[in-house]
């Protein structure tokens, strides 16, 4: 073995010390890591040496990222609100209406025509549907009106007054906090009794139990027999400002002309071992549709003259609506990020012009062109990433304040936070490429001559 060979080879017995190649690889890794740390330090120094210009550049990114994040939070909140509405139908519940907007999404004219041409659903439809599927399904109905409510000197306007069948508690999420539920006897004999929501009870009876008291709904007096348990608010709207009357009483007072009822169908507890499953919900929907077609004497091939709504269809409708809104809003917010990216590019081009001599010095003492390229890309990415972080923080704060002030259930989804930071970094990389390439292609001699 020659002397040169001994210099090249390190002791390798049992591979205890390794070879010069392994040691060189470790040294290159350490040098590469320290190189990136140095590049990061230089980028931070360059940014802080032009604080005002950097701040103005970052503001554009902050605005763009904040807007995108807030839009994502609003769309998520809208989706949650509609999902909560769907959950209000209850598990395994099907609702049948004269016409449902979900059936005609995006076609308001078709919806209006269906409302005008289709026959109203009446209490007779409830009776006939019960006769056909009542042994397997619980069938109820509801009809709504908006009326003023009064007790003494206290009054409420625009209260949702519902005429319901006695089994409404079994078909919906309604629970009675005090008093009793409506009964078939109340409905059949059209008794002037009612159940009031928690908000109505708190306002009209702040100092006493409402049960047994009398209130005026519209022009008639009704005895309060029960108070519903509070259901809170959904997306800022209270769910406790309502009054329920027996359906027979409602029809006696307000009539049935031009008032189409909504039928509610749910599988009886003994109809299946798993009534909340998707299969069971589909079975309830099919059976309710088949029963209504029989009630309306529709022939095979004739379209339905009613609409069937389930929690699944409501959520699908919500997805379509929020999807359409997202298609419109996200490109608009993307324009803001595009403008901010152009500002970043302009600032970085100015920085390259100002630092031409510095770049020439670095190239002349051994810096590679890819080092210069990486240097300016790191600088532009740091600018946009810092703007993205600030924009996300501002968006989270604004969404939190809006949720507290309005009562809406709003929050920034985690995917939106991640997407915002990725987008801000991408803007820095994309719009920093042109200035970085220009800097890396400078001729060292010409750059050193720059004053």
Q: Which residues contact 36 (CB under 8 A, 6 or more apart)?
A: none
pLDDT at 363 over 50: yes
What average pLDDT does the segment 222-238 reach?
80
Higher pLDDT, residue 113 or 193: 193
The predicted structure's pLDDT at residue 87: 52
Q: How do the domains of the chain map onto residue ranges?
A: 41-80+321-448, 90-309
pLDDT value at 143 more than 60: yes
Q: Is 222 left (phi over 0), alpha (psi -120 to 50) or beta?
A: beta
The pLDDT score that the predictor gives to residue 276 is: 45
Q: Tell me: pLDDT of 29 over 60.
A: no
Give the pLDDT score at 432.
75
Residue 9 has pLDDT above 50, yes or no: no
Q: Could you tell me the two tokens for 59? A: 């503001």
Contact 372, 363 (CB under 8 A): yes
- Who's near 368: CB < 8 A, 6+ residues apart? none
Write out pLDDT tens, residues 390-448: 989 998 999 888 888 776 777 788 888 888 888 888 887 787 777 777 777 777 666 56
Rounded to whole angstroms, the Cα distance separating 366 from 405 reads 59
pTM above 0.75, yes or no: no
**The pLDDT of residue 164:** 93
- Average pLDDT of the segment spanning 163-178: 87
pLDDT of residue 16: 41
Model pLDDT, residue 278? 42
- Give me the pLDDT at residue 436, please: 74
pLDDT at residue 83 above 70? no
The pLDDT of residue 113 is above 80 = yes
What is the per-residue pLDDT for 277?
A: 44
Taking only the tens place, the pLDDT of each residue in 281-309 is 678 888 889 999 999 999 988 988 998 88
> Are the C-beta atoms of 275 and 267 separated by less than 8 Å?
yes
């Amino acid at each position: 073995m020659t002397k040169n060979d001994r210099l090249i080879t390190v002791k390798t017995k049992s591979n205890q010390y390794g070879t010069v190649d392994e040691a060189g690889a470790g040294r290159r890794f350490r040098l590469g890591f320290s190189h990136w740390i140095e590049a990061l330090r230089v980028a931070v120094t360059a940014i802080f040496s032009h604080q005002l210009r950097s701040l103005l550049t970052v503001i554009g990114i902050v605005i763009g990222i904040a807007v995108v994040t807030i839009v994502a939070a609003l769309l998520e909140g809208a989706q949650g609100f509609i999902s909560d509405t769907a959950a209000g139908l209850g598990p395994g519940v099907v609702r049948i209406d004269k016409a449902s907007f979900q059936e005609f999404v995006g076609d308001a004219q078709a919806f209006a025509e269906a409302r005008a041409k289709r026959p109203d659903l009446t209490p007779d439809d409830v009776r006939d549907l019960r006769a056909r599927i009542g042994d397997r399904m619980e069938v109820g109905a509801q009809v709504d009106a908006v009326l003023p409510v009064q007790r003494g000197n206290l009054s409420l306007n625009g209260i949702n007054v519902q005429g319901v069948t006695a089994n409404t508690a079994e078909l919906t999420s309604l629970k009675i906090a005090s008093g009793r539920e409506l009964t078939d006897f109340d409905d059949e004999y059209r008794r002037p009794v009612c159940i009031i929501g928690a908000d109505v009870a708190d306002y009209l009876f702040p100092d006493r139990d409402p049960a047994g008291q009398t209130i005026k709904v519209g022009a008639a007096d009704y005895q309060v027999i029960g108070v519903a348990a509070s259901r809170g608010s959904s997306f800022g709207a209270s769910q406790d400002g309502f009054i329920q009357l027996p359906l027979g009483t409602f029809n006696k007072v307000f009539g049935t002309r031009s008032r189409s009822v909504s039928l509610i169908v749910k599988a009886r507890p003994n109809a299946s071992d798993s009534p909340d499953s998707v299969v069971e919900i589909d079975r309830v929907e099919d059976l309710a549709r088949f029963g209504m077609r029989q009630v309306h004497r529709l022939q095979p091939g004739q379209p339905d003259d009613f609409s069937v709504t389930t929690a699944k269809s409501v959520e699908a409708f919500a997805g379509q609506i929020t999807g359409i809104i997202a298609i419109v809003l996200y490109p608009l917010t993307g324009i803001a990020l595009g403008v901010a990216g152009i500002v970043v590019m302009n600032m970085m081009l100015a920085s390259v012009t100002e630092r031409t001599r510095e770049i020439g010095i670095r190239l002349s003492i051994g810096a590679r062109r890819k080092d210069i390229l990486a240097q300016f890309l790191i600088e532009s990415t740091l600018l946009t990433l810092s703007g993205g972080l600030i924009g996300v923080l501002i968006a989270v704060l604004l969404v939190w304040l809006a949720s507290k002030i309005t009562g809406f259930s709003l929050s920034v989804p985690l995917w939106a936070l991640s997407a915002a930071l990725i987008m801000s970094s991408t803007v820095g990389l994309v719009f920093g490429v042109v200035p970085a390439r220009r800097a890396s292609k400078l001729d060292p001699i010409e750059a050193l001559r720059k004053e």
